[in-house]
């Protein structure tokens, strides 16, 4: 299996507070990798390192290395705009822009230079189809995106991301604000998307991790309240034969 991301000895700091220590792992291509762990253990921080969204947080600092296809994400020759096009992100709360559905999906192509993505109308349609939203919105493309239900908004955010044809989609608890049915739709969508994309999802929902992911990484804070990677491996292993007692405690619901 080829690694999409390779992370080595990654530390993340916010000011003087260290959020992650010495995280090393390799994330395979075209699979769904789940990041689980109790609140505050640095899952989101880890995720934000992969598209350098941590750069937008004042006082944040990282050391260590992270590679995308063997290219240093923090290297001087890495263009952040290009990185973020290749590594898209879906947030916990659906955050479509208060613009039309069409404009939301067209945002990325417009900003990055529409020409390289083909005809805008087609991009919008393919992306909405890709996010299983087309049939629901094809007649209201010019309505405000905020008039959609939360679940639809989240799928719109996914459509917005895939409009720029990324290679990776990072999802930070994408279903935690949604009802069970909307959640299942997102999970089905992930299964469909993994054909073309590498997906990394943070989730608090143990069943969700078990349902959707091939690999699972379990994070936890150590005695200094710094997040560490406790265990990482195939999801089945993590849930049925965890090697670490802390992992076992967490996945069986004894704490966290």
Ligand X SMILES: Nc1ncnc2c1ncn2[C@@H]1O[C@H](COP(=O)(O)OP(=O)(O)OP(=O)(O)O)[C@@H](O)[C@H]1O
Site for ligand X, rule CB under 6 A: 14, 17, 19, 37, 39-45, 57, 227
92: DSSP letter: S
Closer by beta carbon to ligand X, 41 or else 201 = 41
Closer by beta carbon to ligand X, 53 or else 133 = 53
Instruction: Dig out the tokens for 50 from the structure.
Output: 């992969």
206: which residues sit within 8 A by CB, 6+ positions away?
36, 239, 251, 253
Report, in Å, the least distance between residue 147 CB and Mg ion: 28
Mark residues 59-98: x for contact with another protein by CB under 8 A, - for none.
Answer: ---------------------xxxxxx--xx-x-x-xxxx
The owner of tokens 């995720």 is: 47
Residue (of 177, 193, 122, 168) closest to 27 by Cα position? 168
State the pairing for strand pair 168-172/198-202: parallel
* Distance in angstroms (rounded) separating the CA atoms of residues 37 and 18: 17
Regarding 176 and contact with another protein (CB under 8 A), the answer is no
Closer by beta carbon to ligand X, 166 or else 227 = 227
Evaluate whether 46 touches 219 at the Cβ level (below 8 Å).
Answer: yes
Neighbour-count burial of 37, counting CB atoms closer than 10 A to its CB (0-12 exposed, 13-18 middle, 19+ buried): buried
Q: Please choose which of ligand X, Mg ion, another protein, none residue 42 contacts, taking the beta carbon within 5 to 8 angstroms, the exact cut-off set by kind.
A: ligand X
Regarding 44 and contact with Mg ion (CB under 5 A), the answer is yes
Report, in Å, the least distance between residue 221 CB and ligand X: 8
Q: Please choose which of ligand X, Mg ion, another protein, none residue 19 contacts, taking the beta carbon within 5 to 8 angstroms, the exact cut-off set by kind.
A: ligand X
Where does this chain bind Mg ion (CB under 5 A)? 44
């Amino acid at each position: 299996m080829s690694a999409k991301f390779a992370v080595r000895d990654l530390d993340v700091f916010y000011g003087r507070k260290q959020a992650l220590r010495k995280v090393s792992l390799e994330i395979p291509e075209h699979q769904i990798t789940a990041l689980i762990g109790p609140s505050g253990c640095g899952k989101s921080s880890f995720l934000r390192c992969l598209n350098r969204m941590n750069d937008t947080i004042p006082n944040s600092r990282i050391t260590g290395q992270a590679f995308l296809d063997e290219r240093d994400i923090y290297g001087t020759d890495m263009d952040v705009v290009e990185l973020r096009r290749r590594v898209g992100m879906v947030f916990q709360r659906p955050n479509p822009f208060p613009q039309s559905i069409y404009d939301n999906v067209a945002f990325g192509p417009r900003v990055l230079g529409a020409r390289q993505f083909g005809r805008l109308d087609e991009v919008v349609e393919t992306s909405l189809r890709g996010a299983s939203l087309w049939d629901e919105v094809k007649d209201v493309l010019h309505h405000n995106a905020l008039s959609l239900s939360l679940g639809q908004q989240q799928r719109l955010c996914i459509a917005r991301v895939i409009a720029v044809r990324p290679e990776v989609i990072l999802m930070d608890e994408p279903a935690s604000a949604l009802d069970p049915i909307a959640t299942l739709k997102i999970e089905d969508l992930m299964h469909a998307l993994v054909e073309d994309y590498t997906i990394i999802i943070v989730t608090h929902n143990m069943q969700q991790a078990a349902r959707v992911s091939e690999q699972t990484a379990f994070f936890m804070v150590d005695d200094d309240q710094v997040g560490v990677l406790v265990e990482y491996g195939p999801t089945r292993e993590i849930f049925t034969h965890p090697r670490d007692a802390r992992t076992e405690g967490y996945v069986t619901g004894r704490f966290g």
